[in-house]
Amino acid sequence: MPASHSCITCAIRGPQCFCTLPALDLLDLDTIGAPHDIAANQTVLREGYSADRVYIICKGRIKISAASEGGRLLLVRIAGPGDVLGLASILRTTNHKVTAETIEPCQLKSIPRAAFIDFMRGSPDVSQNTALAVAREYEAALLSARRLALSTSAAGKLASALLDWARMNHIHNNEALEFAMPLTHEELACMAGLSRETVTRLLARFRVEGLVDQQGERMTLHEPAKLQSLYC
């Protein structure tokens, strides 16, 4: 169902948000594309399919993953409000390299490729924010590649995944890092390149060693330096 939403009055804009734009650009953004409400566990874009539009996330979280030929999944990142999906593919006119699936009910704005390209060409601020958004996608992919290639142990891979997630979402709590962890053990396994059973076993070990604590969706890394030593 279409959503009722205005880019001009939207309250999600922040330093890392694509929609942090001057008033005139927001007026233009409000007139292009279409808003949509999408339920949880729905595919927004699919790896290998043609890219004909971008999606701005207005509300909710979406997991971005890539699959091997054998069907193994790698969770690249979790996208949230202010992120844009499909940018690299529409800019290069290629098929999608990842799949995007909603974790929870989401509100999105879809913009056809031609309309977005015109929007970007008409404003230096939009072009700059587009470049920054693509750079963040690249950084997330680089972190995933580094974790898989350079971590030599299962504990190191999981520690790296937790620290990368914490750095993107953390709240400082003295020496510790506290943050929201919405991922299941299966999704953490996809992020770290491990099995779900291995993740469950290692998290139990980290808790016993006093490195990690989790209450619901709130996770705390008590000694980040010790976790980092597992893969450095």
**Of how many residues is the chain composed?**
232
The CA distance from 53 to 67, in Å, is: 21
Q: What's the pLDDT tens digit per position in 68-109?
A: 777 778 888 888 888 999 999 999 999 999 999 998 899 999
Predicted pLDDT at 42: 95
The CA distance from 96 to 48, in Å, is: 5
How confident is the model over 49-54, as a mean pLDDT?
A: 93
Q: What are the φ/ψ torsions at residue 224 (nearest 5 degrees)?
A: -55, -35
Q: What's the pLDDT tens digit per position in 119-176?
A: 999 999 999 999 999 988 888 788 777 777 777 789 999 998 898 888 766 555 557 8
SS3 183: coil
pLDDT classification of 36: cutoffs 50, 70, 90 = very high
Predicted pLDDT at 170: 59
Residues 6+ away with beta carbon under 8 Å from 51 = 45, 86, 89, 90, 93, 94, 95, 96, 113
The CA distance from 156 to 229, in Å, is: 8
Q: What are the φ/ψ torsions at residue 181 (nearest 5 degrees)?
A: -125, 90
Predicted pLDDT at 3: 47
Predicted pLDDT at 168: 67
SS3 138: helix
Beta strands in the chain (DSSP E): 34-38, 43-45, 53-59, 62-67, 73-79, 84-85, 99-102, 106-112, 171-173, 176-180, 212-215, 218-221
**Buried b or exposed e, range 206-220, using 16+ CB within 10 angstroms:** beeeebbeeeeeebb
The CA distance from 106 to 61, in Å, is: 7
Tell me the domains of the chain and their CATH numbers: 23-149 (2.60.120.10), 151-229 (1.10.10.10)
pLDDT classification of 179: cutoffs 50, 70, 90 = confident
The CA distance from 201 to 149, in Å, is: 22
Predicted pLDDT at 187: 86
